[in-house]
Amino acid sequence: MVEDVKQGLVKASGASKFNFGGWEAAVGLTERWLARAERVDTLLEGLPTGLAGQERARAQQLFYGVVRWSSRIESALAGLMARPPRTKVRALLTVAGFELLEGGADLTAKVIHHAVEKAKTVCSAKEAGLVNAVARKLALRLAEKPADMATELAHPEWLVARWTQQFGAATTRLLLEWNQQPAPVYARWRIEAPVPEFLAPTKWPGFYEVKAGKWDEVRRLVGESALYVQDPSTRLCIELLAPQPGETILDACAAPGGKSLFIADLMKSGKIVALDEPAAPGKTDIRLVRLKENLSRAPAGVEVALVEADLRKVNTVFYRNLNLPEEYDAVLLDAPCSNTGVMRHRIDVKWRLQDGDFARHAEQQLELLHAAARLVKSGGRLVYSTCSVDGQENEQVVKAFFDSRAGGPFKLEKSVQAYPWKDGHDGAGAFLLRRA
- At residue 223, the pLDDT reads 95
The residues annotated as belonging to the active site are 387
Structural domains for the chain: 2-142 (1.10.940.10), 149-179 (no CATH), 185-229 (no CATH), 233-435 (3.40.50.150)
Question: Alpha-carbon distance 287 to 254, whole Å?
Answer: 9
- At residue 109, the pLDDT reads 96
Q: By three-state DSSP, how is residue 55 classified? A: helix
Residue 241 has pLDDT above 50, yes or no: yes
- At residue 19, the pLDDT reads 52
The partner residues of 154 in beta bridges, in order of sequence, read: none
Contact 58, 21 (CB under 8 A): yes
Give me the helices (H) in 69-152, please: 70-77, 87-103, 108-122, 125-142, 149-152
**DSSP state letter for 416:** E
The set of residues, in sequence order, having a beta carbon less than 8 Å from that of 150 and lying 6+ positions away, is: 71, 156, 157, 159, 160, 161
- At residue 5, the pLDDT reads 41
Distances (CA, A) of 12 to 6, 22, 24, 436: 10, 13, 9, 60
Residue 9 has pLDDT above 80, yes or no: no
Question: Alpha-carbon distance 273 to 276, whole Å?
Answer: 10
Indicate the pLDDT class of residue 69, thresholds 50, 70 and 90.
Answer: very high
Q: Within 13 Å, how many C-alpha atoms sit on residue 394's CB side? A: 23
Contact 262, 254 (CB under 8 A): no
Name the residue with higher pLDDT: 283 or 374. Answer: 374
Residue 50 has pLDDT above 90, yes or no: no
Question: Alpha-carbon distance 93 to 26, whole Å?
Answer: 11
Q: What is the mean pLDDT of the chain?
A: 93
Contact 182, 205 (CB under 8 A): no
pLDDT digits (tens, 9 = 90+) for 132-178: 999 999 999 999 999 999 999 999 999 999 999 999 999 999 999 99
Question: Alpha-carbon distance 117 to 167, whole Å?
Answer: 46
**DSSP state letter for 421:** H
pLDDT digits (tens, 9 = 90+) for 376-413: 999 999 999 999 999 999 999 999 999 999 999 999 99
- At residue 8, the pLDDT reads 46
In this prediction the pTM is 0.92
- List, as one string, the DSSP characters of 304-331: EEEEES-GGG--HHHHHHTT--SSEEEE
The set of residues, in sequence order, having a beta carbon less than 8 Å from that of 163 and lying 6+ positions away, is: 171, 172, 175, 176
The C-alpha angle 308, 314, 320, rounded to 5 degrees, equals: 85
Over range 234-260, report the average pLDDT.
98
Does the CA dihedral 67-68-71-72 come out positive or negative? negative
Indicate the pLDDT class of residue 340, thresholds 50, 70 and 90.
Answer: very high
